[in-house]
Structure 1
């Protein structure tokens, strides 16, 4: 896990404007990983619902 003041994507120093990331590019990369389902918060399985 990266240090508190480093970007979680590339480990460069985080900036105030983009905290906790170092740049807009790393912010966008992180968002894309979440939207693609490559990142998730661990927890119990979601309940399946029938339509």
Structure 2
């Protein structure tokens, strides 16, 4: 198996990478947003925030119950 960053042979301690450096490079790419998990259902962040604000305004906590208890 080769390192996904530099293509060198992997080392068991850093698998699937060859070194700590390559593992850190990969982590930095995730944290910087260079990698992304694809989605078939893209959600508009503004719409999601609006829905959350409306739900909060109506006392909904997201589990089908309001803050006072179960739906009746």
TM-score category of the 2 structures, normalised to the smaller one: 0.7 to 0.9
The root-mean-square deviation of aligned C-alpha atoms, in Å, is 1.3
Aligned residues: 47
The question of 1:46 aligning with 2:39 is answered: no
Range with greater deviation from structure 2 (12-21 or 36-45)? 36-45
User: 2:27 maps to what in 1?
Assistant: 31
In structure 2, distance between residues paired with 1:10 and 1:19: 13
Moved over 6 A (4+): none
How big is each residue's C-alpha offset from its partner over 1:16-50, in whole Å with a ceiling of 9 and x where there is no partner?
A: 00000000000000000000000112113134222
Larger radius of gyration: 2
Structure 2 unmatched runs, 5+: 54-72
Structure 1 unmatched runs, 5+: none
- Structure number with the bigger relative contact order (C-alpha 8 A, sep ≥ 6) is 1
Which of the pair is proportionally richer in helix?
A: 2
